[in-house]
Amino acid sequence: MALIELKDVTKKYDKSTTALRHIDLSVNSGEFVYLVGPSGAGKSTMIKTMLGMEKADSGIALVLDRTMPNRHILGDIGYMAQSDALYEALSGQENLEFFGQLKGLSKKDLTTEIAHVAQVVDLTDHLNKAVSGYSGGMKRRLSLAIALLGNPQLLILDEPTAGLDPKERVRLRELLADMAKDRIILVATHVVSDVE
């Protein structure tokens, strides 16, 4: 079974905008896949269609063999959107607690999980600071930590290095390479050097 399966997917936003035209994609276990293309190529639409946030006009989009949105497999998927959707007035810890509760993690699991994901993205020392004081790179890493809550087997990241300075970019790439060891990762990017 492919973990992500798109079959002949077409998506039009309006008469003049066909974002996806007969797309086939099959992502299997153990793979690290990059969707590479310029802005407007249709990468976000592809991700949103597989996640059930946009509806395909034709074709089939399956994640873990199911049609999304499906509440039961939401916990198996970590999704990081193109722009950070964080509560700036809250601390990193409070953001993680909020999104962890949305994912249905128990209070007990949440404490352990937050400590773990914060360590993975190297934010442990900054968890009690308000997110409004975070740098761009710290915000991206917090978004990544949120996506990692619950240890999802599938991680889908839309332009994870957008807006980062070169140093932060390298750091995030290394982090992803490390994570690819035990989960499937799909990354959309227009930055070819990220892939290299």
Q: How far apart are CA 142 and CA 118, in angstroms?
A: 8
- Binding footprint of ligand ADP on the chain (CB under 6 A): 13, 17, 19, 37, 39-45
Q: How far apart are CA 115 and CA 18, in angstroms?
A: 43
| Shortest spacing between CB 126 and ligand ADP, in angstroms | 30
Closer to ligand ADP by Cβ: residue 42 or 160: 42
| Shortest spacing between CB 159 and ligand ADP, in angstroms | 8
| Shortest spacing between CB 45 and ligand ADP, in angstroms | 3
CB 23 within 8 A of CB 1: no
Closer to ligand ADP by Cβ: residue 8 or 122: 8
Closer to ligand ADP by Cβ: residue 117 or 186: 186
| Shortest spacing between CB 57 and ligand ADP, in angstroms | 13
Closer to ligand ADP by Cβ: residue 45 or 91: 45
